[in-house]
Amino acid sequence: MSEITILASVQQFLQRQHGHFIDGEQKASLNTQRFELINPATEQTISSISIGDKHDVEQAVQSAHHAFKQQWANISPYEKGVLLNKLADLVEQHAEELAQLETLNSGKMINISRHLEVAQSVVFLRYFAGWATKISGKTMQPSLPSMHGEKYTAFTLRQPVGVVAGIVPWNFSLMIGIWKIASALTTGCTIVLKPSEYTPLSLLRLAEIAIEAGIPKGVINVVTGLGETGQLLIASPLVKKVSFTGSVPTGIAIGKMAMDSDLTRVSLELGGKNAVAILADADIDQYLPSLLQSSLVHQGQVCAAPERFFVHQSRYDEFVAKCSAAMQQFKISSPLEEDAHFGPLSNASHFQKVKHYLDLARENQQILAGGEILEQHGFYMQPTLVRSTGMNDPIFCEEIFGPILAVMPFEHEDELIEKMNQGRFGLTASVWSNDLSKIMRMIPQLEVGTVWVNMHTFLDPSVPFGGAKASGIGREFSDAFIEDYTELKSVMMCY
């Protein structure tokens, strides 16, 4: 099948000399340094962005602060919800444009951009829109003694923290950006986003669409740039909360910076080394398509996706044979082809990182399926299954964030839990079985933020998501995000 036709609006957007999006409009940066955007499927330059400096960051934060105090503060919760729903409608109307920008910029398969990234962004926006009218405090009855007949009452207010800095990774720029925008706006905060330098285009376009939706200028700002631009944002005294999604080392550095910046609130959604347990009774034929989809969606570059597979020894050979055969059926091709299954990795530096693990697996003769780099333009490699050499095998304990799945047999459930919990990460895990008793005993013992049963890598706005251990601090979605974006104020009254 041939590649889809790129929309004229997308071509025009790529040709623009992009600046930042500040106070409701594109603003050129005084900094003349630019960062080139490379299409990972072709290695061709498709556009470039400004690298935000102190002046740009200050302008954006001032705009967000002004909008927080004035425009957004004076819009009722109901109207905030209406505006977020309007934004969802417009994202739906611009779905193909946003999906194409995302695919050209990140190498995501076009159908994943359309049906996962953009379509789910709309679902999340509408979910968060509903929260705008439901954020409330509590009333309390103090136990203070009444000396002269006076009475006491108390209540709490949930108040927006103020300007949020949203720092976004490259793997799902639009969707993760929207999680941060929607959490901030529905609680009454405003936001300055710093997308990944590799994939900033869809969020730059979204900021324009938000103005079309009627969201006042300054409520959503986007400053592009590298890590240093993010650091400038965190250091700004007007930024009251940092919402970061990215790797563990960057998350730790950001956490320290936020503490140094007068205890700026921080939530961290970080990496994982997610484990799958396939118990002795598992129906491998039934589960395999879902297992592979959840592991290899967006070429495995998903924080929640599994990378470590523990398979009961009675089913190990069967699993390896069936998984290898299925992986070889993947059609690897341009992400702009609608019937392809698997595209390139998202950028050159990440490709080199993943290739390092592939080289290691080849040196140690661990490869069970795949393992080849495609000799063509673009950052393509085969989805790969490797045999783990033990619990200290780097492929089995370091986050790869790519299409390399490592497998190890296990004998007893006690040994299984200990192994699944080994390591610094604690983002997600899954158990595949119909043995309810075993599953229910395992769930409380797994040291992760999310456990799935007979599924993996499904995020839903009604279910909290976040990491245990070094995989993060805080939770997104459901009602769990509210605490992170609001300050709880206590009021006591005597009458």
Q: Where on the chain is the footprint of ligand NAD (CB under 6 A)?
A: 167-171, 194, 196-197, 226-227, 230-231, 245-247, 250, 253-254, 269-272, 303, 399, 401, 427, 467, 472
40 vs 467, beta carbon nearer ligand NAD: 467
Which one-letter amino acid corresponds to residue 271?
G
Q: Supply the minimum distance, in Å, between the C-beta of residue 257 and ligand NAD.
A: 7
Q: Supply the minimum distance, in Å, between the C-beta of residue 98 and ligand NAD.
A: 18
Overall size of the chain counted in residues: 495
Q: Supply the minimum distance, in Å, between the C-beta of residue 25 and ligand NAD.
A: 22
The per-residue DSSP string of 279-321 comes to: -TT--HHHHHHHHHHHHHGGGG--TTSEEEEEEEGGGHHHHHH
Query: How do beta strands 404-410 and 306-312 pair?
Result: parallel
Is 197 designated active site? no
- Structure tokens given for 191: 């936001």
Reported as type and span, the H/E element at residue 157 is: strand 152-160
Could you give the C-alpha distances from 31 to 13, 51, 56, 68, 222, in angstroms and in order? Answer: 21, 7, 9, 27, 16
DSSP-assigned letter for residue 2:
P
Q: Supply the minimum distance, in Å, between the C-beta of residue 317 and ligand NAD.
A: 31
Query: How do beta strands 139-140 and 152-160 pair?
Result: antiparallel
Pairwise CA distance, residues 462 & 477, whole Å: 6
Q: Supply the minimum distance, in Å, between the C-beta of residue 63 and ligand NAD.
A: 20
Q: Supply the minimum distance, in Å, between the C-beta of residue 35 and ligand NAD.
A: 10
Contacts of 23 (CB under 8 A, 6+ apart): 59, 60, 63, 217, 218, 221
109 vs 368, beta carbon nearer ligand NAD: 109
46 vs 257, beta carbon nearer ligand NAD: 257
190 vs 250, beta carbon nearer ligand NAD: 250
282 vs 304, beta carbon nearer ligand NAD: 304
β-pair partners for 21: 26, 222
Which 3 state secondary structure label does DSSP give 490? strand
Contacts of 146 (CB under 8 A, 6+ apart): 152
In the bound state, the residue with its beta carbon closest to ligand NAD is: 230
179 vs 319, beta carbon nearer ligand NAD: 179
Pairwise CA distance, residues 289 & 272, whole Å: 22
Out of 97, 197, 269, 337, the active site residue is 269
Residues classed as catalytic = 269
